[in-house]
Amino acid sequence: MDCEGAEYEILLNTPKHILDKISIINMELHDMSTQGYDAKMLLSHLAAAGFKPECTTADVGSVNAIYYFTK
């Protein structure tokens, strides 16, 4: 996913039964704190759906970084 900040709105509004059908997510995570989103919020949502994050460009929890999620 490279959707220039829309990853929060897209993934936070994707129901768990849809996320259950996905096994891998590659995405760029942007800093959207001025719009009320933070990385912890999105990482928690994906963890609740069974995803484990790896960050390929920085520490997990960082923004403006590339993430790879698997189940």
In sequence order, what DSSP letters do the residues of 20-39 get, joined into one string? TT--EEEEEEP--GGGT--H
Decide if 2 is inside a domain: no
Higher pLDDT, 60 or 18: 18
Give tens-digit pLDDT for 23-66: 999 998 888 989 999 888 999 999 999 999 887 777 777 778 88
Q: For residue 21, what are the domain limits?
A: 7-70
Query: Tokens at residue 48, please?
Result: 């609740």
Task: Return all residues near 71 (Cβ < 8 A) that are at least 6 apart.
Answer: 23, 24, 50, 51, 52
For residue 31, tell me if it sits in a domain.
yes
Name the pTM for this structure. 0.84
In a domain, 62, yes or no: yes
Place of tokens 């609740």: 48
Q: Is position 66 within any domain?
A: yes
The answer to whether residue 43 is domain-embedded is: yes
Tell me how many helices (H) and strands (E) the chain has: 3, 3
Whether 1 is in a domain gets the answer: no
Residue 54 lies in a domain: yes
